[in-house]
Amino acid sequence: MESALWICLTALFAHATSLSVAPRSYDTIVVGLGSAGTTAAATLARAGRRVLALEAQDRVGGRVKTVPFGDGIVEVGAEWIHGTVNSSVYDAAITNNVSVVLQDPSYQVLKSDGSEYTNKELIYELMEYTLEAQEYPPEVPEPLGKFLTRKLKDYLKEKHPELLDDEGFIAELLEFLNFTINSLESSNDWNDVSTQTTSVNLEGPQTMSWHRHGYKTFFELLLNTYNNGPGWPTLDIKLNKEVTQIKWPKDSTGKVEVVCKDGDVYTADNVIVTVSLGVLKERYTTLFSPPLPDEKATVIEKLTMGVVGKTIFSFPERWFPDVSTFVFFWRPEDRALYNDNPWMLQLKQAFVPKGSGNTLTFWANGEVAKLIETLPEEVVKEKMMHILRRFMGKNVTIPEPTGMIRSNWYSNPFTRGTYTYDNLQLVNYPNARATLAEPLLDAAGSPKLLFAGEATNSKHFSTVHGASDSGRREAMRLLSNNE
Ligand SMILES: Cc1cc2nc3c(=O)[nH]c(=O)nc-3n(C[C@H](O)[C@H](O)[C@H](O)COP(=O)(O)OP(=O)(O)OC[C@H]3O[C@@H](n4cnc5c(N)ncnc54)[C@H](O)[C@@H]3O)c2cc1C
Ligand SMILES: *[C@@H]1O[C@H](CO)[C@@H](O)[C@H](O)[C@H]1NC(C)=O
Ligand SMILES: *[C@@H]1O[C@H](CO)[C@@H](O)[C@H](O)[C@H]1NC(C)=O
Ligand SMILES: *[C@@H]1O[C@H](CO)[C@@H](O)[C@H](O)[C@H]1NC(C)=O
Ligand SMILES: *[C@@H]1O[C@H](CO)[C@@H](O)[C@H](O)[C@H]1NC(C)=O
């Protein structure tokens, strides 16, 4: 559906440009068509600006990636709309009558002998208490894991002192909390994350799902192509166009030149760069000419982006109970069986996506997520099915999967990770994200090289809405500058 749409669009543009004089020069070039770039390009085009959007991959969406799978769709990248109040993403759905649904927080806790953990309310209570303790950080910033461990132990001492003697349970609970924080932050260790963060959640439910519509609908709405919409006439989109160099003559008011890997060169008055922090880290020394100023280079080095991975299986039919998440708790005596493959102990939950009825997702993070990207597909499949059967196969015969999808956000040269988090070093660089967002100006003081993307959003980084807002921020900067 999406690709068919793109073929139509491309044909449309080819036709339009063959009738008029093909514009080789644009008002603005947008590099990257993720949430930030697509919002920036659409906002400018909607205001009548001539915009060229260059995207290295063969699709729009970036870290949003909806693919047909199972009996519906699955999200290989972003899963939910986090918060509904003042969310440009939620608003886009609602104003266009696209239904979004709440993913309910129902869950089962299963043990490694296949039995159900009977007191799951206790796990919920402890998880909720500990995760909420993040809202009340200590005055002096410290590693998040260290802080939350202390909070949890204090709480147990007061409310459930008998549990403190169960060392196996405490260790497993802490490991699960570490896993949960790492999944939320895309960190490798909850002690790499700072208790101090500028992140703010939007109000309202945090797990609204585009379900069978898919998150890709957000991009169709932005681009005015939803329901065969006509798109934006002054927006020219080119896929499979990897940008290798951006020449921005800072000492003059001349044009920027954007060079692609295939040799094509495009010019414009200014350029908005929306590639991920991971891509900037890898390329910033070669991507920009002249080089970026030192303060920009420094924050690119200091900010960090981690890895979250998804491995998704489809089954001949839905064989699992009707809850959203299955949480896996290891019994201490079963752990030693996995000494050869310790990463398997980090497969701590299976999740039921909303866009299909017969699929299950394993989340992984940090080094384990990187490892899963590199192991042979058959190995990943066999080990994960082994885990499913151990934890969930006591009462049912789990069928062989009919399909498997594995994310590759770290190996993908156009993402190099999943999202950014506030690490321990940022205490010394409190304005890092604002510095990353700052536009570079030409001799006349007009913005020439602009930056958007989730990493540049001090309050709403690591989200689709935060990325989108950053794209609108830069588009508005150009529109209000009115050069
Ligand atoms: C697994 C996963 C789960 C997530 N879950 C959620 C969630 O539930 N809710 C939520 O709100 N957020 C979630 N996020 C985060 C969210 O997806 C991102 O914050 C957001 O999509 C980032 O958008 P962006 O425009 O900043 O960057 P990107 O989406 O990375 O866009 C940058 C674009 O630039 C392109 N590009 C890179 N290099 C070049 C080049 N040299 N030339 C041309 N183009 C280039 C890339 O291909 C890409 O399309 C998740 C992310 C992942 C990966
Ligand atoms: C939402 O945005 C409006 C307008 O900018 C603002 O007045 C309001 O305080 C915001 N609400 C919340 C909960 O942030
Ligand atoms: C959404 O639905 C309402 C009520 O049916 C209708 O009035 C409105 O025009 C619709 N909006 C769009 C964008 O389709
Ligand atoms: C398996 O079935 C038994 C008996 O009906 C039930 O008590 C138990 O909770 C079930 N186990 C799981 C993991 O669902
Ligand atoms: C958190 O988990 C990661 C990944 O398994 C591990 O490397 C790290 O040591 C854990 N941190 C603590 C404090 O246990």
Q: What is the mean pLDDT of residues 21-44?
A: 89
Cis check: omega of the bond before 290, within 30 degrees of 0: yes
Closest CA to 421 of 194, 201, 200: 194
- With beta carbons less than 8 A apart as the criterion, state whether 222 and 413 touch: no
Give the pLDDT confidence score for residue 375 in this predicted structure.
98
116 within ligand 4 shell (Cβ under 6 A): yes
Predicted local confidence at residue 253, as pLDDT:
85
Q: Using a 6 Å cutoff on CB, does residue 166 contact ligand 5? A: no
Contact 454, 462 (CB under 8 A): yes
- At residue 446, the pLDDT reads 94
Sign of the CA dihedral 192, 197, 202, 205? positive
The per-residue pLDDT for range 145-173, each reduced to its tens digit, is: 999 999 999 999 999 999 999 999 999 99
Ligand 1 mean position, distance from CA 336 (Å): 38
Question: Could you tell me whether strands 72-75 and 66-69 are parallel, antiparallel, or unpaired per DSSP bridges?
Answer: antiparallel
Report pLDDT for 118: 87
Give me the mean pLDDT over the 1-30 stretch. Answer: 52
What is the residue with the minimal CA distance to atom 8 of ligand 5? 189
- Please name which ligand lies nearest the alpha carbon of 326: 4
pLDDT at 246 over 50: yes
H helix runs in 83-165, sequence order = 88-95, 120-132, 144-159
Specify the residue with its C-alpha closest to ligand 1, atom 48.
62
- Per residue in 284-335, pLDDT (tens digit) is 999 999 999 999 999 999 999 999 999 999 999 999 999 999 999 999 999 9
Residue 110 Cβ contacting ligand 4 at under 6 Å: yes
8 lines ligand 2 (CB under 6 A): no
Cα distance between residue 108 and residue 168, in whole Å: 20
Nearest residue (by CA) to ligand 2, atom 1, is 86
For residue range 89-145, list pLDDT tens digits in order: 999 999 999 999 999 999 999 999 999 998 989 999 999 999 999 999 999 999 999
Element (H, E) at 20: none
Whole-number mean pLDDT of the chain?
Answer: 94
Query: What is the best residue among 82, 84, 86 to mutate for testing ligand 2's pocket, by most ligand atoms within 8 Å of CB?
Result: 86
**Torsion-angle region of residue 211: left (phi > 0), alpha (psi -120 to 50) or beta?**
left
pLDDT for the residue numbered 24: 62
Which structural domains are found in the chain, ordered by start? Answer: 29-100+207-305+414-481 (3.50.50.60), 106-204+308-406 (3.90.660.10)
The encoded tokens of residue 276 equal 């991920």
Query: Among residues of the chain, what percentage have pLDDT more than 70?
Result: 95
Phi, psi of 191 (to 5 degrees): -85, 0
Structure tokens at 369: 């997520």
Largest CA distance in the chain: 79
Going from the Cα of 107 to the center of ligand 4, the distance in angstroms, rounded, reads 15
Closest atom of ligand 4 to 392 CA is 13
Measured from the Cα of 346, ligand 5's closest atom is 5
Q: Would you put residue 237 in left (φ > 0), alpha (ψ -120 to 50) or beta?
A: beta
Pocket test for ligand 4, best of 111, 394, 396 (most atoms within 8 A of CB): 394
pLDDT beyond 60 at 5: no
Q: d(Cα 454, Cα 461) in Å, to the nearest integer?
A: 5
pLDDT for residue 482: 62
Q: Is 276 in the pocket of ligand 1 (CB under 6 A)?
A: yes
Residue 191, ligand 5, Cβ within 6 A:
yes
Residue 415 amino acid letter: T
Of all residues in the chain, the percent with pLDDT exceeding 90 is 92
Instruction: State the pLDDT at residue 22.
Output: 46
What is the dihedral sign for C-alpha 318, 321, 325, 328? negative
Q: How many CA atoms lie within 13 A of 82 on its CB side?
A: 16
pLDDT tens digit sequence for 357-372: 999 999 999 999 999 9
Determine the residue of 288, 450, 464 to mutate for testing ligand 1's pocket, defined as the one with the most ligand atoms within 8 A of the Cβ atom. Answer: 464
Q: DSSP readout, 237-260? A: EESS--EEEEE--TTSS--EEEEE
Considering every ligand atom, which ligand is closest to the CA of 109? 4
Closest residue CA from atom 8 of ligand 2:
86
* Ligand 2 atom 5: residue of nearest CA: 86
Distances (CA, A) of 286 to 29, 261, 280, 283: 19, 13, 10, 6
Q: How many CA atoms lie within 13 A of 133 on its CB side?
A: 22
**Sorting pLDDT into bands at 50, 70 and 90, what band is 464?**
very high
- The pLDDT value recorded for residue 8 is 41
Tell me, in angstroms, the distance from the centre of ligand 2 to residue 85's CA: 8
Is the CB of 143 inside a 6 Å radius of any atom of ligand 5? no
- Given the CA of residue 38, which atom of ligand 1 is nearest to it? 25
State if residue 394 touches ligand 4 by the CB under 6 angstroms criterion. yes
Cβ 417 vs Cβ 277: under 8 Å: yes
Is residue 374 pLDDT above 70, yes or no?
A: yes
Per-residue buried b or exposed e for 119-156, using 16+ beta carbons within 10 Å of the residue's own CB:
eeeebeebbeebeebbeeeeeebbbbbebbbebbeeeb
| Both tokens assigned to 426 | 């940022």
Res 145: pLDDT: 98
Contact, 251 vs 258, CB < 8 A?
A: no
Tokens representing residue 326 in the block: 């299955």
- Name which of 261, 219, 306 is nearest 37 in CA terms: 219
Structure tokens, 237: 């989109």
pLDDT of 3: 41
Report residue 425's pLDDT band, with 50, 70 and 90 as the boundaries.
very high
Hey, whose CA ends up nearest to atom 4 of ligand 2?
Answer: 86
Ligand closest to Cα of 224 equals 3
Pocket test for ligand 5, best of 173, 176, 178, 179 (most atoms within 8 A of CB): 178
Nearest listed ligand to the Cα of residue 320: 4
Q: Can you say whether residue 228 is alpha, beta or left, with left for phi > 0 and alpha for psi between -120 and 50 degrees?
A: left
